[in-house]
Structure 1
Amino acid sequence: FFEGALGGGNSSYCSGGASGLVTGMTSCTAAFVANNVGNMGISDAYDAWGSVSNGSFFTFGRTLTSDPISSAFGMMSGQTPSLATTISNGYGNYNAGFLQLTLTNWHGLTMKTNFTYSKALGTGNVVQATSSYATVDPWNLHNQYGPQYYDEKYNFNLFFNYEPPYYSGQKGIIGHVLGGWSFSPLFVYGSGFPVESNTATGDTGSFGESNTTYISTYENMVFNNSVPISGSAHFNTYGTNGCGTSGPGVNVSSNPNASCPANGGIFGDPIRNPILGLDGQIGGGGNFRGLPLWNLDLGVTKKIKVTERFSGSLYFDFTNVLNHMQPADPCFNAYDTSTWGVLGCGSNVQANTPRRLQLGLSFDF
């Protein structure tokens, strides 16, 4: 195929006569491999093909919309660098168990709590208006099937409002001080969301799907062996050889080098780029898991009775009342291994906001 497509052994491409090409090759196939060591090394099938399809030495017809157009005025620019169409032929499955407990005005306590145990799988659903999004394998949509990006195994919520029944009439000085209070905490917990392991090609190049500069997808790397990743933060932890070296040294792995594709995601790395014709079902929101997350908010209200016709209320609303620092999820990018496993991808480690207090006052008459 390459002998015919690239003009045979005496063509400028195969002989190395054109500028910047490897010389001394005995066939067009060997020339193609030699001139695409970078693309082939990171399993970038799209750019490897584009490097010859866009050239004047390509003897077959145009295969990409970005290929130059031959005209009386010479080779003109292609029609478009990319053309993406979003259609609704994906699918998904969501299965869950839901438990809820409600308590209403029991000695001043009203409470609602729920727990969800769930699994969300699918082909990576997006809204119809999404631009620049492709499937991993247009010939087999099931290769896109995996955990949805919003898949969360455990989710727990607890809300209650407690109004102590004591001194509710607010009679006397003690009644005005101790009566009229209510406390309303809100606690949420989640077990964490999937985190994608981005390929060295920036996704969509491994199987030749599309132009990686303009289009992306949920395309994950493949584990060559077990990858030691924990679900907690390790402080003052840096890797070597360019792995997990950015940021303040907070990593999800105690040893970033043990899982890092330091060589760009080749077979010898712990995790590698997917290979066309070998790997399948590499889609989904991610093959790593982000950190568990939790938060506690608190609302405190003090009602003040002045007369039967006139009263007021003080509001103390705390966001993140315990000032809990929720770490951001890590990054796993083969194209930038300096952020490998680094929480916050080398920038801000904290994903939530510090404690905030909002004060309010209202009058009723």
Structure 2
Amino acid sequence: MGISWDPWGHGKTVVRAGGGLTYEIPHLSLFLGQNGVENASTAGLNVIPTAPSTGIPGANGTIAASAVNLTGDLLNWSVAGPVFQPAINCDPATGGTPCDILGVSRSLRTPYVITWNLNVQQQLTPTTSLQAGYVANRGVKLYGVRDINQVNFANDDGSEQLGRPFTANCPVAQGGLGLGGPCFPFLEFVNFLDNGYTSIYHGLQATVTQRAWKGLNFVAGYTWAHSIDDVSLNRAQQPQDSTRPGLERANSDSDLRHRFTLALTYEVPSRKGYGHLLEGWQVNSILTIQGGLPWNLIDGNINGSDSSGTGEFADRWNITSSPANFKPSTTGIPFVDPSFFTVDTNSGHVIGGTNAASNTCFSIAGSQEAKDQLASLGCYVAGSSVLTPPAFGTFGNIGRNPFRGPRLDNLDFSVVKTTNLNERVSVQLRGEFFNILNHPHFANPNTQGLVDPSDPTSFGFIFNTPDVAAANPVIGTGGPRNIQLGLKFRF
């Protein structure tokens, strides 16, 4: 729904307001696998087993082949056998391991987005106008996944499985702690899909439009905005702590605070003669200046860290001072190696550092358990900011998407010469220069290794231009300077 109003009645000022309600159409893949989460293994189940299966055809288990969700490496590619394994062994007592499962809330609802806007457009001259507007939207009942069987470190015996609620609830005779409640000792990660997530966006948008003034046309736009959410994608990374998913509320993956664009076209004044050589010239340019996008930190257990002891591989570290000091680069983020920390040979505890950076980490780490982590995982120091691993059995204090990637400054330019051959046919010669200044552009760290602080050989490294990182190596989408020549006949 939208309305417009001319408050003065002279057609030079227009006030517009609008709003809308849009429902998401869920796709089937939401409910058919374990894609997008870090904890699940290569196989997951879409039904809850009520007894173990030993992997023997016809065994007394409830996990049928049709209920097993397998990836390509678990398929049987032999033409002489069945496509799938007959069953998966979820019983540790018979040599198997507990199985992962995807659960869906019985009260699942369709997510929706509410949008609203208010803007004012003012004519400044007969050919120039200014428009300023407030634009917002709110996502409600968004899909997200959390592990409702996450390890409770206080109940765990080091195996991780005993600390899981659906095991700890079981009677002692079944390997549990007798806590009561749902008992499913054959389950490990229970990734639960529900509607517990929201998003919000507020933006100021300003546009100046110039139309046909002495051959000049341009549109200049500036956006100042902020986007916040709990999860930026359906079935995205599960929370660091699934018992407190609200702590994931932070800058959205797409939170672009500042963006300026200028699209300009200039018709060069023509002169007759010289075989049309001085006629039909046009120059065009598009200037884009924008800030960096957020990127997340996820300790994915590349080096066996698992600081929280949950096995979720979604841990984050502790930070002191501003995350803005940690900037991705082609050389990564300054790392303090574990070898720079002194370990007492009698107690096995870290008792100090051997240089200024390691001593800074040691003094900031906090508890002795956190200090001991330094000898295994090291730390990062950038200016006054320090990034240290949390004590084992705890979660880091840094929020989701704490860092900002590189900004983007890009200028595209083109020259066009149009020659009329007759009243119906013309030929156009185009010279197009993408990123004409050849300014280097880099995408955010966007793979598991590049955002994992437990792997200093790749954490915070940027290797790709935006086009390659997006698997879209098309001219004009963030790559190096490209020059393109074209010839077009119009009739």
Same fold (TM over 0.5): yes
Q: Deviations over 1:93-117 (max 9, x none)?
A: 2222111111111111111111111
Q: Give secondary structure in 1 for the equivalent of 2:437.
A: coil
Shift of 1:308: 2.8
Q: Deviations over 1:191-239 (max 9, x none)?
A: 1011222236479965566643xxx5xx542213456826585879975
Q: What are the equivalent positions in structure 2 for 1:249-260 lying under 5 Å apart?
A: none
Instruction: For 1:355, give the aligned amino acid.
Output: R
Shift of 1:280: 8.1
Distance between the aligned counterparts of 1:136 and 1:256, measured in 2? 28
CA contact (8 A) 2:328 2:405 kept: no
Tell me whether 1:161 sits opposite 2:265 in the alignment.
yes
Pair 1:82–1:201, CA change in 2 (3 A): same
Where does residue 229 of structure 1 map in the other structure? Answer: 325
Q: Deviations over 1:31-87 (max 9, x none)?
A: xxxxxxxxxxxxx977x94842558xx9x97359xxxx99xxxxxxx8565442332
Q: How many residues align?
A: 284
Shift of 1:163: 1.0
Pair 1:230–1:200, CA change in 2 (3 A): closer
Distance between the aligned counterparts of 1:275 and 1:82, measured in 2? 23
Q: What are the equivalent positions in structure 2 for 1:158-307 lying under 5 Å apart?
A: 158-167=262-271, 171-173=272-274, 176-199=276-299, 201=301, 211-212=312-313, 216=314, 220-225=316-321, 229=325, 241=337, 263=375, 270-273=386-389, 282-284=398-400, 286-307=401-422
Where does residue 224 of structure 2 map in the other structure? Answer: 117
Instruction: For 2:488, give the aligned amino acid.
Output: S
Out of 468, 479, 482, the position equivalent to 1:356 is: 482
Shift of 1:339: 2.4
Gaps of 5+ in 2: 1-150, 176-184, 340-355, 363-372, 470-477
Pair 1:236–1:274, CA change in 2 (3 A): closer
Instruction: For 2:273, give the aligned amino acid.
Output: G
Distance between the aligned counterparts of 2:312 and 2:395, measured in 1? 20
TM-score, scaled relative to structure 1 = 0.62
CA contact (8 A) 2:379 2:388 kept: yes
Distance between the aligned counterparts of 2:227 and 2:305, measured in 1? 23
Distance between the aligned counterparts of 1:205 and 1:86, measured in 2? 24
Tell me whether 1:329 sits opposite 2:444 in the alignment.
yes
The structure with the largest strand share of the pair is: 2
Instruction: For 1:92, give the aligned amino acid.
Output: S
RMSD over equivalenced CA pairs, Å: 4.6
CA contact (8 A) 1:274 1:282 kept: no
Shift of 1:265: 5.8
Instruction: For 1:335, give the aligned amino acid.
Output: S
Gaps of 5+ in 1: 1-43, 71-77, 244-254
Pair 1:333–1:275, CA change in 2 (3 A): same
CA contact (8 A) 2:288 2:409 kept: yes
Distance between the aligned counterparts of 2:316 and 2:273, measured in 1? 68
TM-score, scaled relative to structure 2 = 0.47
Instruction: For 1:153, give the aligned amino acid.
Output: R
Out of 419, 423, 446, the position equivalent to 1:308 is: 423
